[in-house]
Amino acid sequence: MYSGFIYKAVESKNDFQPLLRTGRVSGVLRWDQVVQRSFFGMGINRNVRHVQTDDSYILAAQITGQPSTDQPKGLNVVMVADVDFISEQFFQLRAQGIENLNFDNVTFFLNCIDNLANDRSFIDLRKKRVRYRTLETVERKTRQFVEQRLTEEKEAEAQAQKALDDARGRLNQSVSQLQARTDLDVQTKQIMAQNLQEVENRRFEAERASIESQKQSTIQQSKENTEASIRAIQTRIRMLAVLLPPVPVLAIGSVIFVKRRKREREGAIAVRRLRS
């Protein structure tokens, strides 16, 4: 779930060809954000909030280089930033076909091996797979709402950080003003500074709790608005899927009915003329 990333060094003379990249909605997390300690030991934090960085990270690349004194035969390797991508579980899922889980890990690994062995006979064959038509309009509109939610979350995070910085600045300014007073001795300044810091720290913690609560409220509201908008799109698509299919049938039926009535009237008029 959490891989590393690689990049080409500035001074490197080797050819660096990226093979796997993340999308632009990816982000970077610290180790202490991903892993949390509990009574049972270390585990994965399941509630990590996604923070988008608008960057694309290289997960795997092929690195080639000309022969040199260090590499007499040259260099031709495939570097993957996460060795877990080829763990035994992916082979088991591929062999058992559990719930149509079809990851590309094994396919990518086999293609890398064949490419390094200069055998490309199966690479093009492995690329062929079943393609499903998706609701592109729904996905496009849904993606717009998701990007809007991420933007709102970043703005809320920035506003919260600015408010915390302002509160911390007021605390430092109050302490600096106290230290600058010349009518007090050093011991009195220390006592007053300690009392001031305790008071300001309590005020700062209260402001931080209020800012954090407001930030979480804004993020939750943005998430609810996004989910409501997505549900509205899905509901509208379902209604159109139910109402639109009968329209062509009704239109064709109406045209046929009108034509038959017209022919019946023309036939009736012709019969009356013959009788008369």
Each residue of 183-241: pLDDT tens digit?
A: 767 777 777 777 777 777 777 777 777 777 877 787 777 778 777 877 887 788 888 88
- For 108-145, what is each residue's pLDDT tens digit? 999 999 999 988 888 888 887 776 666 676 677 777 77
Q: What does each C-alpha distance from 198 to 78, 165, 171, 178 come to in angstroms?
A: 57, 18, 10, 14
Residue 276 has pLDDT above 70, yes or no: no
Nearest to 209 by CA among 169, 155, 159, 164: 164
The DSSP code for 30 is -
Contact of 34 with 48, CB cutoff 8 Å: yes
Contact of 2 with 34, CB cutoff 8 Å: yes
Please state whether the predicted TM-score (pTM) of the whole model is above 0.85. Answer: no
- For 73-109, what is each residue's pLDDT tens digit? 888 999 999 888 888 888 888 788 776 677 888 889 9
Please report the pLDDT score of residue 63 as a whole number.
92
Please report the pLDDT score of residue 77 as a whole number.
93
